């Protein structure tokens, strides 16, 4: 008979506040008084902005710790003292995510595979799309597929998308090659909760057939960027980036293939870091505790 070890209650605390002396000491003392054992701690002081960021993973050593609700209630005093923007979640609590996609399957398929194999610790609440193409692969994974109103009625599409997001109580909307520009109103409604993936070239090629235009210009680096969505198109706080070198022998089709691979990998890393509560926004930038 195999006996498994009991699961030790554990949590993740993230916080951001004005930088000042005593923050780390206050957090450490709070945990020590309740029998908290810190398993991972990272902090960053942005001296230019005068901001302090911290992520602490910890577990209980005895019954003093209490449950999540009690911990939040008691830590509120520390948060108020330092005017913190903080969040405390149980380690097993997975963020709920809604994925939006158009016709490209590479990012969606990668996320679904990682989720199904247990390497992506999120709860995928559904997939929304402005096309029917990705229904089969989505439903094969047992995930609801929501086809938005036909193209041309952007207001109806966004109303339906936001309704699904709120109804499923999703925490993040992941744009896995959703080829629609979100309105300013929807961007504001999802501020800090919407993540996009797009190709990164120098110079930038926006619009249709970017890889073909990059080939025409002899681009030597192909890349991808995952970022939070803001009203400034493709200019939100960056979460992750990657590049791969190409040369004069690469065809436009080669660039498309390489670019899709990079896009899928970069988006998966960004989503994984969000799931682990490792990403904190810092104005127009991010702090990513890896």
Q: What is the pLDDT of residues 11-54, one digit of tens each?
A: 999 999 999 999 999 999 999 999 999 999 999 999 999 999 99
Task: Cite the active site residues.
Answer: 234
**How confident is the model at residue 213, as a pLDDT?**
85
In this prediction, residue 4 carries a pLDDT of 52
Per-residue model confidence (pLDDT) at position 5: 57
8 Å CB contact between 268 and 240: no
Tell the burial category of 283 from Cβ atoms under 10 Å away from its Cβ (0-12, 13-18, 19+). exposed
User: Which pLDDT does position 203 carry in this prediction?
Assistant: 58
SS3 176: coil
Report the sign of the C-alpha dihedral through residues 53, 27, 19, 172, in that order: positive
Distance CA 287, CA 290 (A): 9
User: Which residues lie closer than 8 Å to 246 by C-beta, 6 or more apart?
Assistant: 219, 220, 221, 222, 254, 255, 258
Count Cα atoms within 13 angstroms, Cβ side, for 186: 21
Residue by residue, pLDDT tens for the chain (290 residues) are 444 556 789 999 999 999 999 999 999 999 999 999 999 999 999 999 999 999 999 999 998 888 999 999 999 999 999 999 999 999 999 999 999 999 999 999 999 999 999 999 999 999 999 999 999 999 999 999 999 987 778 899 999 999 999 999 999 999 999 999 999 999 999 999 999 998 886 557 776 788 888 888 888 989 999 999 998 878 899 999 999 999 999 999 999 999 999 999 999 999 999 999 999 999 999 999 99
pLDDT at residue 3, as a whole number? 47
The phi and psi torsions of 230 (rounded to 5 degrees) equal -130, 175
Which pTM does this prediction carry? Answer: 0.93
**Residue 222, both tokens:** 């192909």
CA dihedral 56, 116, 147, 107 (to 10 degrees): 70
User: What pLDDT score was predicted for residue 194?
Assistant: 98
Report how far residue 30's alpha carbon sits from residue 260's, in angstroms, rounded to the nearest whole number.
Answer: 46
Cα–Cα nearest to 230, from 265, 266, 189: 189
Q: Please list, in sequence order, all residues whose beta carbon lies within 8 angstroms of the beta carbon of residue 142, skipping any fewer than 6 positions away.
A: none
Please, which residues have CB within 8 angstroms of residue 63's CB and are 6 or more apart in sequence? Answer: 35
CA distance from start to end of the chain: 38
**242 forms bridges with which residues in the sheet?**
224
**Degrees (nearest 5) of the Cα angle 208, 211, 213?**
75
């Amino acid at each position: 008979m195999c006996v498994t070890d009991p699961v030790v209650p554990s949590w993740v605390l993230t916080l951001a506040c004005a930088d000042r002396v005593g923050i780390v000491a206050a957090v450490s003392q709070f945990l020590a008084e309740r029998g908290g054992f810190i398993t991972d701690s990272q902090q960053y002081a942005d001296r230019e902005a005068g901001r302090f960021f911290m992520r602490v993973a910890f577990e209980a050593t005895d019954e003093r710790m209490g449950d999540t609700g009690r911990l939040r209630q008691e830590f509120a005093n520390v948060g108020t003292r330092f005017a913190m923007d903080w969040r405390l979640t149980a380690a097993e609590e997975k963020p709920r995510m809604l994925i939006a996609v158009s016709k490209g399957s590479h990012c969606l398929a990668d996320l679904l595979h990682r989720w199904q194999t247990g390497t992506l610790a999120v709860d995928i609440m559904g997939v929304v799309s402005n096309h029917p193409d990705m229904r089969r692969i989505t439903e094969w994974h047992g995930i609801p597929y929501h086809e938005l109103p036909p193209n041309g009625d952007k207001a109806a599409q966004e109303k339906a998308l936001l309704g699904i997001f709120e109804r499923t109580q999703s925490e993040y909307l992941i744009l896995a090659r959703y080829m629609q520009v979100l309105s300013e109103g929807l961007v504001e409604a999802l501020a800090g909760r919407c993540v996009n993936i797009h190709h990164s070239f120098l110079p930038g090629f926006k619009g249709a057939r970017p890889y073909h235009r990059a080939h025409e210009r002899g681009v030597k680096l192909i890349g991808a960027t995952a970022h939070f969505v803001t009203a400034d198109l493709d200019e939100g706080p960056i979460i992750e980036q990657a590049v791969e070198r190409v040369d004069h022998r690469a065809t436009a089709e080669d660039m498309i293939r390489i670019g899709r691979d990079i896009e899928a990998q970069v988006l998966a890393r960004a989503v994984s870091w969000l799931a682990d509560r490792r990403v904190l926004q810092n104005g127009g930038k991010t702090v990513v505790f890896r």
